Structure 1
Amino acid sequence: MIRNGLNKCLQNKLFNNKLFYSSQAKPSRDSSYAIINNDDIEHFKTILDTHSILTDPSDIDGFNQDWMRKYKGNSNLVLKPKTTDQVSKILKYCNDKKIAVVPQGGNTGMVGGSVPVHDEIILSLSNMNKIEKFDPVTGVVVCQAGTVLETIENYLTPMGYTVPLDLGAKGSCQIGGNVSTNAGGIRLLRYGSLHGNVLGVEAVLADGTILDCLSTLRKDNTGYDLKQLFIGSEGTLGIVTKVSMITPPKPTSVNVGLFACQDFNQVKTVLSRAKSQLGDILSAFEFMDRPCIDLVLKHQQVQDPFQEKSPFYILLETSGFNETHDSEKLNNFLESIMAENLIIDGSLATDSKNISAFWKFRESITESLGKEGAVYKYDLSLPIEQFYSIVELMRAKFDDKANVVGFGHVGDGNLHLNISTPKKPYSKEIFDMIEPFVYEYTSEHRGSISAEHGVGLMKPDFLHYSKSNNSINLMKSIKNTMDPNNILNPYKVLPTK
């Protein structure tokens, strides 16, 4: 791998070709991988119909590049299987020929995990999009991996259930990709992570073996819990083809509050009070700093929620099943935090229109940032005492060279640190000001360099800031056992050294 000792000529070449993914350069192609030829394509035609094989560059371009236009590969082939058996046959052939493969869901990731680095075959799961069954007694749903998250939510709503996962990208992300990246989202505070909500998976290993761990049982204490290997492994150990998941009853009483705070200490205190006073009905606790609000006001058709600007904003959601009970708890909570001057302004929404308007401020931040230029995104878990300090440090570090904003799921300790500059493409100078400083800070405070977006291509060489050498070596051992030819999503997750 080419590192920071690039000579100036090579630096300029990489910069002009937009190949910067972090302060590290793009990894070199592993020459041991086979190059796709016509014989390979003819073989895939015996497995898939011609409409499921894409070779035209204009058809493939969207699959080669992530939605942020930060990562771009050079694949010449997209395969779109419709069944698990087809996935199995494709992987067996690729493993025998040592052809590298990158699985792809909705391609909504932020760390380059779902696009090729070089010329890997793109295996799109989008045609595997059926909801196979739902048990209204247990609330367990079984879906194919390519099912869009919002499709599952719309299916469950009439039956009084909801998906225990809510993301801004719910209209395009797919459940297989959600599971493979252990996506978090805005309601993890209420429902927990996918490690607890996924009951089983069906996955295809690198050699084509179909692993049926598609249990629908809440309790199964027989041996190793193999499904957990695939949750968060980003397609490096196997390709998830089906998911069984517990879904909770859909709340019938929902309230959303938007509050302004003078400093982050007030945010922390309100969070502590919300947990103790709202308890079972607290479903989300998000925060945004003022620069986030300014960005949304600039790029979205919304009005400033308050007359006076404040440094910090809290978006709090409660959801339950007894409107009278929920309203009483919420009103008591609001009275207590106002009496102690923990908020300087606030507004409560109880109808769907106003609730959606409040949530738009939080969910439009990423889109608004994208309209500013190049965005450098960092997804961190930090102890609450150091949660916002990194934003202030980076803001002082950049001065007026970049816009630094902080927002995220403060209720579960997940900060989204975003740094935007008006100029594209991505700049090595900016990356060098951020990395590895942001990871060193996170490690120093025993945080995680990836709270919910995964490691992907962006962070393998920084994994040691969150994991010990022994842990990384064990991960490599598992990878070598399950994928000895390293054909599944190469160059991702694990460091190459």
Structure 2
Amino acid sequence: MLLKQFLRIGLVGFSKKSCRSFTKQPDFTKNTYQIERGFYNYLQEPHLNYFKKILGDDGNRVITDESLLEHYNIDWFKNVKGSSKVVLKPKTTEEVSKIVSYCNANKLAVCTQGGNTGYSAGAVPVFDEVILSMELMNQILDIDVNSGNVVCQSGIVLENLDNILAEKGMMVPLDLGAKGSCQIGGNVATNAGGLRLVRYGNMHGNVLGLEVVKANGEVLDCLKVVRKDNSGLHIKNLFIGSEGTLGIITKVALRCPIRPKTQHVAFLGLQNYEKVLKTLRKCRQDLDEIISAIEVMDSLSLEWGEQHTKLSSPIGRYPYYLLIETSGSNEQHDEAKIQGFLESALNGHYILNGVVTGEPSKVKSLWAIRERLPEGFKNHGWVGMYDLSMPTDQFYNVVDELRTYLKNSADYVFGFGHLGDGNLHLHVITKKYDKRLETDVEKFLMDKILPMKGSMSSEHGLGFIKRKYLPAVNSSESYHFMTDLKKLLDPNRILNPYKVFP
């Protein structure tokens, strides 16, 4: 019988499969990946004096203390490390413009950084680039409750913006596991998708306008707030997903949907992936108008999460798990719909067991099982994080085939992700970085994904780690058009060098 009452999520011990976790400190990226530094100038005292003239000399906005710099030089997953000697913290577009103009004139490379939560090492320096941290550009400039949009600076943290919009009955159409740290500018720069893309779409579909500082310091005003505008080219779209390589996003106008009044989450256990697909189809048939997320995990993924977060499955052990969220405006209607779907799925032998809740704190607890899965990556060693899009029927074929292909070459291979939009997060974990292993995995995945017309970078961007994919996954015409844009907008290549463009 389906468990209609939410079961408390308790603590569990480590599984029999030992987790070899340790605190790691990555080597410099230039050493690990054998990259040559570009022909940029090195930071000198006159440069620092100029930055202090703009931002002040109190040490809070021009940071040179080595103990503080480390936080900005290492990516969140501790896979790469730069050697920047300065972090600059502007508060206004005008300050960004002056800094970038000066860097362009003096051939100083710039790495723009938001919350530094990216998967592809796109927001940390490779060498000694000037780090431009957007964390102090965190102001909301306007909220229009009638039109349903917000204008804000790019450095505001996603969760902070969403909490403020909640007071107006609105929401950010994006939800990420890193929402407590990631910034809106970074979300736009990587064209983030997130947990509820199946309902709200990615950032490309929700950004109304942008303000961008070009490589020469010129401010490009594309900060329109209307949803319909056919007056010429949509220039803002060039910068959505460009990862700071074409310009620096300083302000964002964002479409904000009405916040749902009711929300339910079901956590289900399933026997095999064929049943997962049947449940997915039934979910769409029965719940289409209220679905907001459909997430999938396999047993190995959940075991990893339990080992590193102490959160456990509320329904016991199953080969596969689905997390389905619905949201709407009528509590009785939505509860009846999801209960009917679950009872039908259970009686039809689609699912083996499950729990469902509409209580906010318990909804949050169930989501934590899925959202916190990547936490253990930081301290295990090297993590190859592959962000793939493909037909949903191929999701776990790829995972299983890679496990067989690698045999004992990796400590762990597992996958989980956004089943509703066909986005698989596949992870290969070893104690240390192995270039040959990385090359083998990439070739294997390219040979699998590209014939399906899939994507090797679905929502995390190319950054530094995946820049080699750009010419491989695009037609030669598209690739050369992108590189021509880079040359046009950033002729000195000072903006986020070594990223995206090989």
**Do both share a fold (TM > 0.5)?**
yes
When structure 1 is superposed on structure 2, of 166-175 and 345-354 the one drifting more is 345-354
> Does the alignment pair 1:109 with 2:138?
no
Q: Structure 1's 17 and 139: CA in aligned 2 closer, same or farther, altered over 3 A?
A: closer
Q: Which residue of 1 aligns with 2:272?
A: 263
Q: Deviations over 1:137-157 (max 9, x none)?
A: 111111101100011011011
State the shift of 1:25 in Å: 2.7
Q: Distance in 2 between matches of 1:19 and 1:41?
A: 24
CA contact (8 A) 1:18 1:426 kept: no
Q: Structure 1's 369 and 75: CA in aligned 2 closer, same or farther, altered over 3 A?
A: closer
Unaligned runs of 5+ in 1: 1-15
When structure 1 is superposed on structure 2, of 291-300 and 218-227 the one drifting more is 291-300
State the shift of 1:432 in Å: 3.5
State the shift of 1:374 in Å: 2.8
> Does the alignment pair 1:436 with 2:443?
yes
Q: Distance in 1 between matches of 2:110 and 2:377?
A: 31
Q: Which residue of 2 aligns with 1:275?
A: 284
Q: Structure 1's 291 and 54: CA in aligned 2 closer, same or farther, altered over 3 A?
A: same
Unaligned runs of 5+ in 2: 1-24
From 342, 346, 352, give the equivalent of 1:338.
346
CA contact (8 A) 1:21 1:458 kept: no
**TM-score, with normalisation over the residues of structure 1?**
0.92
Q: Describe the SS at the equivalent of 2:249.
A: strand
The one-letter amino acid of 1:444's match is P
Q: Which residue of 2 aligns with 1:158?
A: 167
Q: Distance in 1 between matches of 2:89 and 2:216?
A: 18
State the shift of 1:459 in Å: 1.4
State the shift of 1:478 in Å: 0.8
The one-letter amino acid of 1:361's match is I
**1:164-203 matches, cutoff 5 A:** 164-203=173-212
Q: Distance in 1 between matches of 2:29 and 2:219?
A: 37
> Does the alignment pair 1:231 with 2:219?
no
Q: Deviations over 1:99-142 (max 9, x none)?
A: 11010000000111001111110011111010111011111111
Q: Distance in 1 between matches of 2:501 and 2:232?
A: 26
State the shift of 1:433 in Å: 3.5
State the shift of 1:224 in Å: 0.4
Q: Which residue of 2 aligns with 1:380?
A: 388
Q: Describe the SS at the equivalent of 1:47.
A: helix
CA contact (8 A) 1:379 1:414 kept: yes
Q: Deviations over 1:283-340 (max 9, x none)?
A: 0000000011111222223333223x21110000000000111122212222332232
Q: Which residue of 2 aligns with 1:13?
A: none
CA contact (8 A) 1:443 1:465 kept: no
State the shift of 1:460 in Å: 1.5
> Does the alignment pair 1:469 with 2:467?
no
Q: Distance in 1 between matches of 2:173 and 2:360?
A: 19
Q: Which residue of 2 aligns with 1:393?
A: 401
From 301, 306, 313, give the equivalent of 2:321.
313
Q: Distance in 1 between matches of 2:88 and 2:29?
A: 27
**TM-score, with normalisation over the residues of structure 2?**
0.92
Q: Deviations over 1:435-462 (max 9, x none)?
A: 2222232112211110000000011222
The one-letter amino acid of 2:92's match is T
Q: Which residue of 2 aligns with 1:144?
A: 153
Q: Which residue of 2 aligns with 1:480?
A: 487
Q: Distance in 2 between matches of 1:46 and 1:371?
A: 40
From 450, 465, 475, give the equivalent of 2:457.
450
The one-letter amino acid of 1:192's match is G
Q: Distance in 1 between matches of 2:436 and 2:28?
A: 14
Q: Distance in 1 between matches of 2:83 and 2:112?
A: 15
CA contact (8 A) 2:79 2:383 kept: no
Q: Deviations over 1:55-81 (max 9, x none)?
A: 121121111111111111111111111
Q: Which residue of 1 aligns with 2:56?
A: 49
Q: Which residue of 2 aligns with 1:74?
A: 83
The one-letter amino acid of 2:87's match is V
CA contact (8 A) 2:84 2:131 kept: yes
> Does the alignment pair 1:129 with 2:138?
yes
> Does the alignment pair 1:348 with 2:361?
no
> Does the alignment pair 1:491 with 2:498?
yes
CA contact (8 A) 1:440 1:465 kept: no
CA contact (8 A) 1:449 1:465 kept: no
The one-letter amino acid of 2:481's match is L
Query: Could you say which structure has the greater relative contact order, defined with CA pairs below 8 angstroms and 6 or more residues apart?
Result: 2
From 364, 385, 405, give the equivalent of 2:372.
364
Q: Structure 1's 56 and 20: CA in aligned 2 closer, same or farther, altered over 3 A?
A: closer
Q: Which residue of 1 aligns with 2:72?
A: 63
State the shift of 1:403 in Å: 1.1
Q: Describe the SS at the equivalent of 1:240.
A: strand
The one-letter amino acid of 2:187's match is N
Q: Distance in 1 between matches of 2:158 and 2:309?
A: 24
The one-letter amino acid of 1:451's match is S
Q: Structure 1's 26 and 451: CA in aligned 2 closer, same or farther, altered over 3 A?
A: farther
Q: Describe the SS at the equivalent of 1:134.
A: strand
CA RMSD, 1 decimal: 1.7
From 35, 40, 43, give the equivalent of 2:42.
35
Q: Describe the SS at the equivalent of 1:18.
A: coil
Q: Describe the SS at the equivalent of 1:132.
A: strand
Q: Describe the SS at the equivalent of 2:310.
A: coil
CA contact (8 A) 2:78 2:378 kept: no
Q: Kindly, what percent of the aligned residue pairs are identical? A: 45
Q: Distance in 2 between matches of 1:410 and 1:355?
A: 19
CA contact (8 A) 1:160 1:249 kept: yes
CA contact (8 A) 2:30 2:127 kept: no
